[in-house]
Structure 1
C-alpha cells in the first residue's frame, strides 16, 4: 500500500480527497502543524507528497524546497491559481506534476497512478543498474557513481538520464521527453525541460560527467558515449 502525505489546509477538501484515495487503497496522512510540515514528512516517510500551493505560514513552494533538500520522493502540486508561472515554478523545483483545482477525481487518481507507476515500476522491465561512461546508474536508489564519487538525482532527473542512456549516441527529442515526464505538458514550456536537464548536468559534473549529455540544437538531447573498438 502506497503512503501519501496530503498537505492541504482546507479540512473539507482534505477529507474528500482522503476518502477517495482510501477507496483506491492508498494510505493517506495529513499535516498536524503547518508550521512544521517536515516533522509530518519525517514521521510518515511517504511514497508520494501532494502539496497545495496556498498554505498557512509558508506556501507549498517553500515546503517543496525543504523536502527536496532531504528526499527525492515524488511531489505533485495542487492549486486553484491558474497562472502558468506557478506550474513552471513547481516543475523547476523538482515537482513531478501539477494538478489544477477544481479537478475531477478520476483525473486526480489517474495522475497519481501515472506518477507512482513511473517512479516505482519503471525498473521492473529492465535492470536496476546501467553502465554509462564508466559510471553505474542505480535506478532503484536514484544514484550515479564512479571512481570520482556519487551523486543523488530526483525521480525526474534519474528518469531523464535513463531515457537518454537507453538511447545513447542517439537524439531524444524534447517532445518525447516532455510527453513521458509530464502527462499534460500544454503549459510546460521548453524552459522547464531545459532546467531539469541542466540540473542533471550540474550533478553529473560533480563526478566528471557533465559533458556526457549534449544539446542537439532544435532537436533534443543525446547521451554521448564512445563505442568500444
Structure 2
C-alpha cells in the first residue's frame, strides 16, 4: 500500500483529498503541525507528497527544498496560485508536477499514479540487475536518479533523470521537444511549454557542477541533444 503525505492547511481540501485517495487503497497522512513539516515527512516516510504553496510559517517552496535535500520522493504541488512563475518556482525548487485549484480529482489521481509508477515501478517488478546508461564519461543510474562522472556523484530528481536518460540513450542525436514532453509527461496537454526549459536548465547546471565534459545543446527548431566535447556542433 502506497503512503501519501498531504501538506495542506485548508482542512476541507485536505479531507477531500484524503477520502478520495483512501477509496483507491492509499495510506494517507495529513500534516498537523505546519512548523514541523520536514519532521513529519521523515517520520512518515511517504511514497509521494501533495504540497500546497500557501502555508502557515513557511511556504511550500521552502518545504519542497527541505524535503528534496533529504529525499527523491515525488512531490506534486496543489495550489490556487496559477501563475506561470509559481509553477516555474515549484519546479526549480524540486517539485515533479504542479496542479492548480480548483482541481479535478481524476486528474489528481492520474498524476499520482503516474508519479508512483515512475518512482517505484522499476522495483515493483523485481528487476535483479540495476540499469545504467553511459555516455561521454557520464554514468546514469536511472532507477536511483544518481549521476556519476570520474568518481564524483550527484542526485537528480526523477524527471531530471528521465530527461538525461533520453538524451544519453540517443548518443548525441537530436531528441525533439515533442518527444521529450511525451515521454516525461503522459498528459502533456496540462504542461506549460516553459516547463521543459526549466528542466533542461536544471540538468545543465548539475552536469556543470559535476565537471562533465559534455553539454546539452539546443538545436533550434528541432530539439536537444547531449554533445561530448570532442563532437562538432550540429
Q: TM-score, normalised by structure 2?
A: 0.86
Q: Which residue of 2 aligns with 1:158?
A: 161
Larger mean Cα displacement after TM superposition, 77-86 or 208-217 = 208-217
- Residues 63 and 77 of structure 1, relative CA distance in 2, 3 Å threshold: same
Is residue 2:144 matched to residue 1:141? yes
Q: TM-score, normalised by structure 1?
A: 0.88
The match for 2:178 among 175, 180, 184 is 175
Output aligned runs, 1:93-132, within 5 Å: 93-121=93-121, 128-132=131-135
Deviation at 1:79, TM superposition (A): 1.1
The gaps in structure 2 that reach 5 residues or longer are none
Distance 1:29 1:146 in 2: 38
> Counterparts of 1:224 and 1:158 in 2: how far apart (Å)?
17
**Shift of residue 30, structure 1, vs aligned partner:** 1.3
* Conservation of the 8 A alpha-carbon contact between 1:202 and 1:210: no
1:67-106 correspondence runs (5 A): 67-106=67-106
Alpha-carbon distance, 1:178 to partner: 2.5
Distance 1:68 1:56 in 2: 20
Q: Which moved further from structure 2: 2-11 or 141-150?
A: 141-150
- In structure 1, C-alpha distance between the alignment counterparts of 2:21 and 2:191, rounded to whole Å: 26
- Find 2:211's aligned residue among 191, 204, 208: 208
Please state how far the C-alpha of 1:148 moved relative to its aligned partner: 3.5
1:173 CA drift (Å):
1.4
Does 2:52 match 1:48? Answer: no
User: 2-side partners of 1:9 and 1:168: how far apart?
Assistant: 46
Q: CA deviation at 1:122?
A: 5.8
C-alpha contact 2:137 2:212 (8 A) present in aligned 1: no
Moved more, 12-21 or 207-216: 207-216
Provide closer, same or farther for how the CA distance between residues 127 and 117 of structure 1 changes in structure 2, counting only shifts above 3 A: same
The secondary structure found in structure 2 opposite 1:144 is strand
Query: Structure 1 unaligned runs (5+)?
Result: none
Q: Is the 8 A contact 2:136 2:214 kept in 1?
A: no
Alignment of 1:189-200 (within 5 A): 189-190=193-194, 192-200=195-203
User: In 2, distance between residues paired with 1:11 and 1:169?
Assistant: 50
Runs of 4+ displaced beyond 6 Å: 123-126
